[in-house]
Amino acid sequence: MATVTLADVARAAGVSRSTASRALSGSSLISLETRAAVQDAARALGYRVNRAASALRSNRSHLIGLVMNNLINQTFHTIAEVVQRRAAEAGFQVILCITDADPHREREVLGMLADHGVDGAIVMGTGRNRSEIGVLREHGCAVVHLIRSVAGSDAMTVLADDVAGARAATEHLLGLGHRRIGFIGGPLEADSGRERFKGYADTLADAGVGGLDELVRRGPLTAEFGSEAAASLLAVDPPMTALYAANHEATFGILPTLAELGVAIPDALSLICHEDMRWLALWRPGLTVVDNGAGELGAIAVDLLLNQIRNPSADGGRTYRVGPRLIERDSCRRIDRIDGGPG
Amino acid sequence: MATVTLADVARAAGVSRSTASRALSGSSLISLETRAAVQDAARALGYRVNRAASALRSNRSHLIGLVMNNLINQTFHTIAEVVQRRAAEAGFQVILCITDADPHREREVLGMLADHGVDGAIVMGTGRNRSEIGVLREHGCAVVHLIRSVAGSDAMTVLADDVAGARAATEHLLGLGHRRIGFIGGPLEADSGRERFKGYADTLADAGVGGLDELVRRGPLTAEFGSEAAASLLAVDPPMTALYAANHEATFGILPTLAELGVAIPDALSLICHEDMRWLALWRPGLTVVDNGAGELGAIAVDLLLNQIRNPSADGGRTYRVGPRLIERDSCRRIDRIDGGPG
């Protein structure tokens, strides 16, 4: 089938061979019209690039790796969809890599990406494997850390502003008159667990609300932990009047537990969840959430990565933060101070 | 960095060069122990395969394409996760391709996969682009159609047994005494829309229940349509006593509409949804569903694909069906025949 050459395509499209080559490789230097004309000519003639051969020639594979813990978390699959879409528009394809948050598997995945000669990688990782990431970068692979930073890595990093997100949730509840505000969140070892707790605790401290240790539960990112933590918080006296569910895994446990125990939302308890999911808007009542901006996180990460691939001298090291957005629905109510007990 | 050779790795691991090569390429002919020993040696020596060079040599890229409409649908991201995991275990990486169910974009994606010399592709597609898929196969690329067949393609096909799924839902409702059973589903042009309607209609016909045209709503796979269809069905007199929501997009519209209109489930209406999602179990009441076996669909598809890659003479053309499973929760109740009106 390899009888049609790049020169044939260039001739049919009325452009030079190098323009045709750049158009087919998705170069942003070529106008959309020219790209379309060259692609049409290539399609009409049945021309196919041999990516393996052209990767050896150009040292460009047009592949990028996307390393993530899982695809089930809505934040992750939203990011994967956005990254794939924008990368494809720029002529790059995404190799999907799922690590189950296992640093050993992640290390294997990073090695495999090096083997495939990817031009770049977005790593939503375990926060480990700094040296393997360094090796990737030495091989000329652009790297962006997403969601979770890697201590000591000087690659670009895109993070959700989790402190601000937790602050927004806590301030919203304080503004409605709540003082006894419970917290269920992830472990301090996870960036998100640590930062969301900090946003919550600092906001309460700034407001002069203290002594809420008994209303804090931190543990693994699982529905089971959310369920246990909710049941345990409901047993505290004086009771909490509001609860901040600081990750979506916990939310999967907290909601059925509150329903089973007959806790009316928002009459008996105001509730804010961190990380929006489509069904949280359908829940009755609709749940007020801190939207972490998954789509925006993915978009910025892939744009930074593509820029770095095209311009390898681009500045590394910088950290970008995507701010939260509070989406008010019907799960929080205003209370009089007295409702909150002596707090 | 290319100073360490395959021969060095083979020597360190105490195996032949060809065994080392096969071990590093993930061949299933090499024992797990030998693979581990070779991989350890390669890691210790800092040896990296150059996939682009080895793809040219071996005509094997160790890449497979996964073409799908979106990643938001739980069926799709569950499949993507399973396919990636099993492929990686076998030494293959997955290029993720999202088409928005646009046949034109799908055609571009198939061409791009040919450019990258993928060894195989799983296509959950628009049902079009038979000729492009033919070209891929002529280039030696293994293909499995998943979820949706392509008329005239002789590639292997893995489908959900949607007729059986709809039959299971309808029989369950008939068994509880329901006769006026509503249907909200996709268009007849979609395999799933056509087959789920057939399963519903045939089951009612077999049971001698007829004349339900007024309780059937078919339309686009959107939440908006589900919402309109639910409202419109609730206005029919005599009323339906049960509803089969035949796709997850419709379910996203049906559930809030039933809640807004104050329809008590299952007291006023029994409800079964097709395609399980994690939050449907959390909904109050927990929703009885037809689980289409997304994980099993992905597992069979990737196993068939890998088998075909390793053994290109493997029989094509066959269609495999993955059966449904009815998961009973709390959204259906038994009724006396009289409740159903004159039906």
Across the interface, do A1 and B139 touch by the CB < 8 Å criterion? yes
Alpha-carbon gap: A151 to the closest alpha carbon of chain B (Å): 23
Nearest CA to A258 out of A237, A222, A236, A229 is that of A229
Alpha-carbon gap: A13 to the closest alpha carbon of chain B (Å): 18
Across the interface, do A66 and B96 touch by the CB < 8 Å criterion? yes
User: Which residues are paired to B322 by β-bridges?
Assistant: B160
Across the interface, do A80 and B96 touch by the CB < 8 Å criterion? yes
pLDDT for residue A132 is more than 90: no
Q: Judge whether A259 and A285 are in contact, CB under 8 Å.
A: no
Q: In this structure, what are the phi and psi dihedrals at residue A254, rounded to the nearest 5 degrees?
A: -70, -45
pLDDT for residue A226 is more than 90: yes
Alpha-carbon gap: B203 to the closest alpha carbon of chain A (Å): 31
Alpha-carbon gap: A128 to the closest alpha carbon of chain B (Å): 17
- pLDDT tens for A29-62 read 567 778 788 888 887 887 776 666 666 666 789 9
Q: Does A2 touch chain B (CB under 8 A)?
A: no
Amino acid at A324: P
Across the interface, do A70 and B81 touch by the CB < 8 Å criterion? yes
Q: Judge whether A293 and A301 are in contact, CB under 8 Å.
A: no
Using a CB-CB distance cutoff of 8 angstroms, which residues of chain B are in contact with residue A61?
52
Computed from CA positions of residues B272, B274, B278, B279, in that sequence, does the dihedral angle turn out positive or negative?
Answer: negative
Using a CB-CB distance cutoff of 8 angstroms, which residues of chain A are in contact with residue B139?
1
Using a CB-CB distance cutoff of 8 angstroms, which residues of chain A are in contact with residue B61?
52
Q: Looking at the partner chain, which of B51, B77, B252 has a beta carbon nearest the beta carbon of A116? A: B51
- pLDDT tens for B216-250 read 999 999 999 999 999 999 999 999 999 999 999 99
DSSP designation for B266: T
To the question of pTM greater than 0.90 for the whole model, the response is no
> How far is Cα A302 from Cα A292, in angstroms, rounded to an integer?
17
Chain-wide mean pLDDT for chain B? 89
Using a CB-CB distance cutoff of 8 angstroms, which residues of chain B are in contact with residue A265?
none
CATH 3.40.50.2300 in chain B, residue ranges: 60-160+294-322, 162-291
Residue A43's Cβ-count burial label (10 Å; 0-12, 13-18, 19+) is middle
Rg of chain A over all Cα atoms, to the nearest angstrom: 25
Q: Looking at the partner chain, which of A51, A72, A112 has a beta carbon nearest the beta carbon of B81? A: A72
> What CATH fold (topology level) applies to the domain B60-160+294-322?
Rossmann fold (3.40.50)
The string of DSSP letters for B84-104 reads HHHHHHTT-EEEEEE-TT-HH
Q: Does B329 touch chain A (CB under 8 A)?
A: no
Q: Does B81 touch chain A (CB under 8 A)?
A: yes
My answer on whether omega of the bond before B239 falls inside 30° of 0, hence cis, is no
Across the interface, do B77 and A71 touch by the CB < 8 Å criterion? yes
> How far is Cα A215 from Cα A238, in angstroms, rounded to an integer?
10
pLDDT at A17: 81
Q: Please give the CATH superfamily to which domain B162-291 belongs.
A: Response regulator (3.40.50.2300)
pLDDT per residue rounded down to tens, chain B (343 residues): 346 778 888 888 888 887 887 777 665 556 777 878 888 888 788 777 666 666 666 678 999 999 999 998 889 999 999 999 999 999 999 999 999 889 999 999 998 998 889 999 999 988 888 888 888 888 889 999 999 888 888 899 999 999 999 999 999 999 999 999 999 999 998 889 999 999 999 999 999 998 789 999 999 999 999 999 999 999 999 999 999 999 999 999 999 999 999 999 999 999 999 999 989 999 989 999 999 999 999 999 999 999 999 988 766 678 999 999 999 999 999 997 554 444 4
Contact map slice: A 275-314 vs B, CB within 8 A: 277-279, 282, 284
Alpha-carbon gap: B178 to the closest alpha carbon of chain A (Å): 27
Using a CB-CB distance cutoff of 8 angstroms, which residues of chain B are in contact with residue A117?
50-52
For strands A142-146 and A156-160, give the pairing: parallel
ipTM: 0.74
Residue pairs between chains A and B whose CB atoms are closer than 8 Å:
126
Residue A56's Cβ-count burial label (10 Å; 0-12, 13-18, 19+) is middle
Q: Does A43 touch chain B (CB under 8 A)?
A: yes
The confidence band for A191, taking pLDDT boundaries of 50, 70 and 90, is confident
Contact map slice: A 110-169 vs B, CB within 8 A: 111-112, 114-117, 138-139
Q: Does B29 touch chain A (CB under 8 A)?
A: no
Q: Does B97 touch chain A (CB under 8 A)?
A: yes
